[in-house]
């Protein structure tokens, strides 16, 4: 087997190493379908960071059929020329670049413009919209659109293309999957018929671009559904796919609608989760097999190529650190900003129709704006609070050449992250704490533990800039009978300050923390346990990323946990609670514990004391207003970037 940093040949393309950057829809695209400056900066940073080949985000073969929003496409000769300038910039770093071309088909947002999205058959797409079955007369035109787009990619200087046919998703995927394809003509029924459109698209691309123009096929090694394609189905197609022009396989898995957490695996999903299928396909393939799916550890990437596959695709690992590949090759593992598979910035922001970002790297997509260049004048920066926001602020200040000091009143850094990594499936969050600790040491940040800051303390440091990151404290609801001095909050349970081995437990608050607390209680159950969770709104987990929410709800359904929505806590006693559930009063009795997971309120008293006493004082993170880790680090980055 080869090593991660050996060359790889795919068709006429030779990569300098065996790493690819995954296509990820991040919302950076321009309305005209071309690469804008922000996107170019984003991709250039990864090319400079050493990746062997960048796979662009989905590029539609039909400009009239966008994918999620502003979709990459070739609209004209001018756009081809614009892409040519982009590919030239990427090539300057010795990096190859290919677009992922696709007809979005059922996943097109064309329905918002009054045009029903087309698919292999009529069904509800991922947005709950009805698709229209493609007619036989329409198929030749779509095949030619694929060929035309591939040729335009070649003319624009791309080194090849990737063809999307995975996840029972988009047009080719919907034809290949028996879960979507219910046709009764020559494009439906048996596996070979369902693969017919894919074969014809491959043939047309090779005829237009030449047999040596590289085509990588992204495919689900298994759809992981009893009604979907199995790995044996895909293995049986491999020889024919190669004969029709596939030069390499990128093996993913699962389906987009039913198993979004398998497509973009987050908390609790195994690393390299498509490895078994990739190895099975590699046994019958005469062309390279590339693995994708939660490969975010450098040593894992190296091991996979040394032992199992021909190359690996890095996705969110390259969002969190564009220098991942170079640092891996140089053995600088501790300096890699780690992906913790949280999905908060890369997925969560997109579902809110905002541009994607990253908790540990808020400069993703804003490389030019948030570059940590040296300050024009070296400053002394004092950071108060050692949670993720404060640690990030001290790190960024040191990166800009400032003299940074961090004060933390407890005896450990990390703040609420030390609790956030305790629930089941959340251990990866601890990566951020360990990384930032090592970075503070590497960058010679002075860290003072056990230091309770006050105005007099701050005065002693003679700092030019003071950044207050003192965090937040748990919030309690205004409920009759609730004594704040006796109230038990989720953070105390997760921190191990209060042990609940069993009993009849009421959890108040159905956000992410409340749900995670329920799982934590069940995991640590030693005696008979029943958990009831109450939430005021009509949905629990409203603040969770869908890729974490879906598996969490499946797990909770199998646990002794009862979820009550549209229920407001009205009054409590020592062992009872009264609820208003849709206008109906309900009383829960014989409770052994009531645990509150009702959010946080800012702890900013120190900031109020300092803001007018010192010339340059900033308040970031929860101390400014309760927020998640993404917003805390982003605030730190934006603040330090302005110094």
**Catalytic (active-site) positions:** 169
Q: Which residues pair with 19 in a beta bridge?
A: 312
CA 511 to chain centre: 19
- Using an 8 Å Cβ cutoff, are 42 and 57 in contact? no
**Distance, CA of 503 to CA of 525 (rounded, Å):** 9
**Distance, CA of 83 to CA of 131 (rounded, Å):** 32
Task: Encode burial over 226-238: b for 16+ CB neighbours within 10 A, e otherwise.
Answer: eebbbbebbbebb
**Distance, CA of 551 to CA of 406 (rounded, Å):** 38
Give the HSE-up count for residue 347: Cα atoms under 13 Å, Cβ half-sphere: 22
The 3-class SS string of 574-589 reads CCCEEEEECCEEEEEC
**Distance, CA of 270 to CA of 313 (rounded, Å):** 16
- Using an 8 Å Cβ cutoff, are 197 and 241 in contact? no
- Using an 8 Å Cβ cutoff, are 252 and 263 in contact? yes
- Using an 8 Å Cβ cutoff, are 523 and 494 in contact? no
Rounded to the nearest 5 degrees, what angle is found at the Cα of 60, between the Cα atoms of 211 and 118?
110
Q: Which residues pair with 8 in a beta bridge?
A: 15
- Using an 8 Å Cβ cutoff, are 120 and 183 in contact? yes
């Amino acid at each position: 087997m080869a090593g991660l940093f050996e060359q790889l040949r795919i068709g006429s393309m030779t990569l300098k190493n065996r790493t690819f950057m995954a296509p990820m829809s991040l919302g950076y695209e321009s309305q005209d379908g071309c690469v804008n400056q922000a996107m170019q900066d984003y991709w250039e940073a990864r090319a400079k960071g050493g990746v062997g080949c960048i796979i662009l985000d989905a590029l539609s073969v039909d400009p009239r059929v966008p994918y999620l929003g502003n979709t990459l496409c070739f609209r004209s000769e001018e756009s081809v020329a614009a892409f040519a300038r982009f590919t030239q910039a990427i090539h300057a770093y010795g990096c190859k670049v290919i677009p992922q071309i696709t007809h979005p088909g059922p996943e097109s947002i064309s329905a918002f413009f009054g045009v029903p999205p087309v698919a292999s058959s009529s069904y509800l797409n991922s947005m709950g919209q009805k698709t229209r079955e493609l007619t036989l007369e329409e198929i030749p035109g779509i095949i030619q659109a694929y060929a035309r787009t591939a040729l335009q990619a070649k003319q624009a200087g791309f080194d090849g293309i990737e063809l999307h046919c995975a996840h029972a998703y988009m047009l080719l995927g919907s034809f290949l999957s028996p879960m979507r394809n219910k046709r009764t003509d020559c494009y439906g029924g048996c596996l070979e018929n369902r693969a017919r459109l894919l074969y014809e698209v491959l043939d047309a691309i090779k005829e237009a671009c030449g047999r040596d123009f590289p085509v990588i096929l992204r495919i689900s090694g298994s759809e992981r559904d009893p009604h979907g394609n199995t790995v044996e189905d895909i293995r049986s197609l491999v020889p024919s796919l190669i004969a029709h022009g596939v030069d390499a396989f990128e093996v993913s898995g699962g389906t987009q609608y039913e198993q979004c957490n398998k497509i973009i695996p987050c908390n609790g999903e195994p690393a390299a989760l498509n490895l078994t299928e990739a190895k099975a396909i590699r046994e019958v393939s005469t062309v390279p097999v590339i693995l994708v799916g939660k490969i975010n550890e450098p040593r894992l990437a190296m091991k996979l190529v040394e032992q199992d596959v021909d190359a690996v695709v890095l996705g969110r690992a390259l969002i969190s650190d564009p220098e991942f590949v170079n640092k891996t090759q140089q053995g600088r593992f501790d300096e890699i900003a780690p992906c913790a598979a949280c999905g908060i910035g890369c997925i969560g922001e997109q579902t809110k129709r905002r541009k994607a970002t990253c908790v540990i790297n808020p400069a993703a997509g804003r490389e030019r704006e948030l570059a940590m260049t040296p300050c024009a004048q070296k400053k002394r920066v004092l950071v108060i609070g050692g949670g993720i926001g404060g640690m990030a602020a001290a790190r960024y200040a040191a990166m800009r050449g400032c003299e940074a000091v961090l004060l933390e009143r407890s005896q450990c850094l990390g703040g609420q992250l030390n609790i956030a990594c305790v629930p089941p499936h959340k251990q990866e969050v601890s990566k951020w704490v360990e990384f930032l600790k090592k970075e503070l040491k590497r960058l010679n940040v002075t860290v003072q533990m056990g230091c309770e800051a006050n105005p007099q303390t701050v005065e002693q440091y003679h700092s030019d800039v003071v950044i207050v990151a003192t965090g937040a404290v748990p919030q309690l609801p205004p409920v009759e009978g609730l004594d704040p001095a006796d109230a038990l909050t989720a953070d105390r349970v997760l921190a191990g300050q209060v042990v609940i081995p069993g009993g009849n437990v009421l959890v108040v608050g159905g956000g992410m923390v409340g749900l995670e607390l329920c799982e934590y209680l069940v995991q640590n159950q030693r005696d008979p346990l029943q958990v009831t969770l109450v939430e005021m709104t009509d949905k629990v987990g409203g603040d969770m990323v869908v890729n974490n929410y879906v598996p969490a709800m499946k797990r909770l359904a199998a646990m002794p946990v009862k979820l009550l929505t549209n229920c407001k806590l009205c009054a409590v006693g020592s062992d009872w609670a009264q609820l208003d559930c849709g206008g109906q009063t309900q009383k829960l009795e014989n409770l052994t514990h009531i645990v509150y997971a009702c959010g946080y309120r800012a702890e900013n008293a120190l900031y109020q004391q300092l803001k007018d006493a010192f010339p340059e004082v900033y308040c970031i993170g929860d101390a400014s207003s309760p927020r998640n880790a993404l917003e805390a680090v982003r605030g730190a980055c934006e603040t330090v970037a302005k110094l």
